[in-house]
Amino acid sequence: MKKIFFIVIFSIISTLAISQVTFKPGVKTGLNLSKISNFEDKGLSGFYGGLLAELKFDSSFALQPEIIYSQQGSKNVRLDYLSFAIASKLFFTKQPSTAYIVFAPSFDINLNGSTESYTYNEDYYYSTGVTFQGDITFSGGIGYSFPIDLDIEFRYKKGIIDAIDDGETRKRLNSVFQIGMVYKFNFKK
C-alpha cells in the first residue's frame, strides 16, 4: 500500500514538474453586497480580503486556492466568515490580457459564534440558542486579467446551509455579490 501511495505521489509531482505549471501567490480584496434569504432585513455592504495562490496549468486553465475573510449577513445580523475555496478559472484566449469565467466551491467557518438577539421585521426577538452556522458555498462569475498581474472579478456566492439556526423550518441562506481585485506576485520577472 505504501509503495502504491509513493508511486502515485511521485507521478503527480513529476507530471507537474514537466507540465510547466506556473505558481503565483497573490492577494485579493473587494466589496460584498450580501443578504440572507427568507429574512426580513435590509442587505449589508461589507469587505472581503485574503490570500491566494494561482496554479496555471496552461494558457486556458488555472486552479486558485484561496483563504478569505468575508463580512456577510444583513443590516442587523453581521456574519464574519473565514472562507477556504478552490477556484477553477477558464480563460477565453491565450493572450496575457484575457477574460475568464470562475467557479469556486468553498467551506466557510463562522467567526462570530452565537447571539442572544437579532432584529427581524423591525421588532426585536430575544431567543437563546440562536446560532450562526458555518456554511458551504458555491460561487461563479467572470473576471478579466491584465498583463500586469492584476485581475478584476465579479462573483455571485450562494450558501447551502441555514445561516441562522433558530429552530424555524425556513432556510435562511447567504447570498452575496462580490466585486473585487486580485494582485498576483510574479517572481520570475
Domains defined for the chain, CATH in brackets: 22-184 (2.40.160.20)
The grid coordinates listed for 136 are: 458551504
Is residue 103's pLDDT more than 60?
yes
Q: Read off the pLDDT of residues 108-131 as tens digits, 9 standing for 90 and up.
A: 998 875 454 555 555 555 444 556
pLDDT, position 90: 96
Query: Model-level pTM greater than 0.85?
Result: no
Are the beta carbons of 81 and 111 closer than 8 angstroms? yes
Picking from 34, 39, 42, 35, the residue whose alpha carbon sits closest to that of residue 130 is 39
- On average, the pLDDT of the chain sits at 83
- Helix or strand (DSSP H, E) at 48: strand 44-58
Amino acid identity at 94:
K
Q: How many helices (H) and strands (E) does the chain have?
A: 1, 11
Strands (E), 59-149: 61-73, 78-91, 98-110, 114-120, 123-132, 135-146
